[in-house]
Structure 1
């Protein structure tokens, strides 16, 4: 039996199965400790001490701890700067190695390099494994050996490279070191307050992920392509927060998509890998356009328009309903993420980074790679982005994807009495009709803060600098 001890550092992989780093540690060490650090470098940057994501993590850790204790282990939880806590904990436990799953965010990569150096100075090895992506690093490159910048060729290369091994489950069998006597600290102990996860229907942990996944695969996966664009229909998986924090394995989802031949669902998983790859290879996208010439765009400076967009008071019902869904629940339907991002950048002419930052604060499933990729796609500044001259019309998007106004009426209840004929553009109602139904535009609901046709012309003029540079 191998007498060496190892430490597994959990980060965004809060499960005890199909876990690459845990599998490697259990295979290579005689005794494995498990730990999670509430990293103050991350926590101190959050906008509020009442954050659903921290609450979700804490509850998921409690479930993970229970699962590990049933296997003879347990979870060590610390609060502090992870870059300092992990080397200190490794020394305290007397382990020979530390295992963790790779992270692709620039700050995380910098932290991991520092941790590896600190551990090395103590004679402790630091091993990282691929876990949150199917492919990472240089596994999928162009024929010239370069990272892809266009999705479809990347997808084709991704699919060509894929084998059953890439989606196989990592077995997590071996000997765990006993966990600490104390359990997971309450939120208050780490400086946070409980949130409304129960109210908005989010069940954290592996059990929450399993319930959503089982329901989606049994009833909706086969219809995903047909239903995914309609926010009033329960057509998507709602698994994004669980993927973000790793309470379910990406390999299990990919295996199911392949087995069920759900190409549309698999496509979304490949987009996720694509954006990880972009962030990993091109860290400049944090704060800058992927296409450098787009940094020359001069955006409008209208704090009042930004506030109206954030509050769901733009006068465009679908945009407002989507923003109110985000503000209420911390989640937004993917089709609507594209609609509101296009509206901010191409109707209001505001910098995409303002929207990216607001989403980063509000989204339960905030993931830097996907959030940045999505915003740069909408603003046409990113890789394989929508061309700048293709501009979503918020009215036709509303008519197409919420034809009966069901979603709008749920989140903009002041428009409940508006007939279907006008629900997508209520300002087109005559004054007498507005008064008859008790919905007066400008009094009960705002008129449109910009005219879409005029805004479109201004956007084309604003983006002309890109054409000149090109």
Structure 2
């Protein structure tokens, strides 16, 4: 006779504590079977040494070990989610599948398919808000329209937070006895998934009071490495957004707090305007006649443009899976405006390389750099990649770290003249948008 269980499906919430959906599942009537699916639809698109896959795999093994200490485990599968659920339904009498919301277009479509499939088997499918403080249309204008400018969104967000937000954390430790008791659930190795361990490691996040308090003063200087490295941990849910917001508000650092709100701003933009993954938010920007020069794109990707701040950033990205935020803006602007290469090319490259890749923020920031997105700078604002060095890396410390041949004859000539490229950009953009 098959055992009756509820399933908790881990996705972008890879932690056992302060996890809303997991907490709700543990308060249900049936033992909870924890489950994770390495989605073949996603994995098939990734390089075989992808650092994010290694990070997810190693995180899951730690979670599995912790659950085994409580007499349970974590069932890990590889395949298309509906196919995996068919397999699990053959083994267990599943009452409900519980998980947390995911807002990206593919995830929404996947969940709709899974919910329909489970519904046909009379299995409930319940999802909860976990990876954000406010979601979907919780922060909108008085007339119900979404905000497309950050500052009024941020003000409304803070106003709602102060009025309505409960600081409750969803501690699960006291309820782990409600787990399904079997420590030998299915597991996989990286090799089973067709992957190998990456040489790139995702660093621990740093949200000490010192980091938060000095964030505003030091965040623009790439040589200082003064950012929190929270991005990947928020992306994969190894840390709870509620705990991070609590830290930000307790340290009273507005700038750090506002960076967390930017993440939610872009998430609600993606939810309201899913077409912006492929299309310019400002429609007329899709009329830009991009040059899309393949050889120049390759030089940008490999950090050989002859513009040191751009090159250092791209080399940092390729070596470490990370790029300093200030440098991201300069590198993105350079691709779209100096080289007139479609922002979608840059967005796709960052999606492949960034450890903290999150679709909403990546698309939002690339469209911002191209001038085509919400709250974007006007098209005639073009970063000067040389004066940016004077402002933010005057001693060339960051540049020399990633470009050992800088200052020698081995460093490449400039790919394009700044003044000429600027004038060309203004001409092409003006023709498209006027």
What's the offset of the Cα at 1:237? 0.5
Aligned to 1:188, the other structure's residue is in SS state coil
1:121 & 1:148 partners in 2: Cα distance?
38
Aligned to 1:36, the other structure's residue is in SS state strand
Residue 188 of structure 1 corresponds to 191
Aligned to 2:94, the other structure's residue is in SS state coil
What's the offset of the Cα at 1:295? 0.6
1:352 & 1:196 partners in 2: Cα distance?
29
Contact 2:131 2:241 in 1 (8 A): yes
Residue 369 of structure 2 corresponds to 378
* 2:411 counterpart of 1:408: no
RMSD between aligned residues = 1.6
Q: Which runs of 5+ in 1 are unaligned?
A: 419-438
2:67 & 2:391 partners in 1: Cα distance?
48
Aligned to 2:78, the other structure's residue is in SS state strand
Contact 2:77 2:186 in 1 (8 A): no
Residue 423 of structure 2 corresponds to 457
Of 270-279 and 159-168, more deviation after overlay is shown by: 159-168
- Specify whether residues 188 and 4 from structure 1 end up closer, same or farther in structure 2 by C-alpha distance, changes over 3 A only: closer
Deviations 1:274-305 (A, max 9, x none): 11111111110111111111111110131111
2:35 & 2:186 partners in 1: Cα distance?
12
Q: TM-score, normalised by structure 2?
A: 0.95
Contact 1:326 1:362 in 2 (8 A): yes
Residue 412 of structure 2 corresponds to 446
1:22 & 1:288 partners in 2: Cα distance?
36
Residue 293 of structure 2 corresponds to 302
Structure 2 matches for 1:189-204, cutoff 5 A? 189-197=192-200, 201-202=201-202
Of 87-96 and 58-67, more deviation after overlay is shown by: 87-96
Aligned to 1:189, the other structure's residue is in SS state coil
- Specify whether residues 167 and 342 from structure 1 end up closer, same or farther in structure 2 by C-alpha distance, changes over 3 A only: farther
Contact 1:83 1:112 in 2 (8 A): no
1:226 & 1:270 partners in 2: Cα distance?
19
Aligned to 1:127, the other structure's residue is in SS state strand
Q: Which runs of 5+ in 2 are unaligned?
A: none
- Specify whether residues 331 and 167 from structure 1 end up closer, same or farther in structure 2 by C-alpha distance, changes over 3 A only: farther
Residue 433 of structure 1 corresponds to none
2:348 & 2:62 partners in 1: Cα distance?
31
Contact 2:287 2:433 in 1 (8 A): no
- Specify whether residues 85 and 251 from structure 1 end up closer, same or farther in structure 2 by C-alpha distance, changes over 3 A only: same
* 2:211 counterpart of 1:253: no
* 2:55 counterpart of 1:64: no
Residue 122 of structure 1 corresponds to 121
2:191 & 2:420 partners in 1: Cα distance?
51
Aligned to 1:131, the other structure's residue is in SS state coil
What's the offset of the Cα at 1:401? 0.8
What's the offset of the Cα at 1:39? 0.6
What's the offset of the Cα at 1:167? 4.4
What's the offset of the Cα at 1:146? 1.1
- The alignment covers a number of residue pairs equal to 428
What's the offset of the Cα at 1:183? 6.6
What's the offset of the Cα at 1:218? 3.7
- Specify whether residues 80 and 467 from structure 1 end up closer, same or farther in structure 2 by C-alpha distance, changes over 3 A only: closer
Deviations 1:247-279 (A, max 9, x none): 001111101101110111111110100111111
2:87 & 2:356 partners in 1: Cα distance?
30
Deviations 1:137-161 (A, max 9, x none): 2211111101111111111111111
Residue 140 of structure 1 corresponds to 139
1:466 & 1:155 partners in 2: Cα distance?
31
1:166 & 1:80 partners in 2: Cα distance?
38
Aligned to 2:36, the other structure's residue is in SS state strand
Q: TM-score, normalised by structure 1?
A: 0.88
Contact 2:51 2:202 in 1 (8 A): no
* 2:111 counterpart of 1:108: no
Deviations 1:408-466 (A, max 9, x none): 00000112xx4xxxxxxxxxxxxxxxxxxxx22xxx11111111111111111111134
